[in-house]
Amino acid sequence: MRYLKKLPNSRRAAPGLERKLLRKLPMLLLGGTMIPLLVVVGSHLWPPAGEALEVARHVKTITYFAIASVVTLWTLCFPLLVGCIVVVVMKGPAYVADAYELSDADEPGKPPRREM
């Protein structure tokens, strides 16, 4: 017995913004991760001129900002990914999980009596 059966005459909805976002999401994550990484590598390879303490503070600050921007980007993209997947699933064909037979009656039944 198949647990999920497609409803007759159920069609998939046309793809919309969620498909475009799903296609662009890997490049957004890759670019959004690589740009701060390249900035950090550049700050380590070509540090600014100045005293050693100021240079170390500058490089550390750039590193912290890069980590924060990457974590923020990934934190924003994960719910976007989940939302797009939910929309894709919801736009799919309709399924029936359990058929529930209803009794065909003109009037509802009487409620059961409570014994005291």
Q: What is the pLDDT of residues 1-11, one digit of tens each?
A: 566 677 777 77
* CA-to-CA dists, residue 105 to 99, 101, 102, 108, angstroms: 18, 12, 9, 7
What pLDDT sits at residue 9?
75
* CA-to-CA dists, residue 40 to 37, 71, 94, 106, angstroms: 5, 15, 49, 75
What pLDDT sits at residue 6?
77
Place of tokens 């009037």: 107
Q: Where are the domains of the chain?
A: 5-96
Rounded to whole angstroms, how far apart are CA atoms 6 and 101? 18
Looking at residues 87-101, what average pLDDT do you find?
76
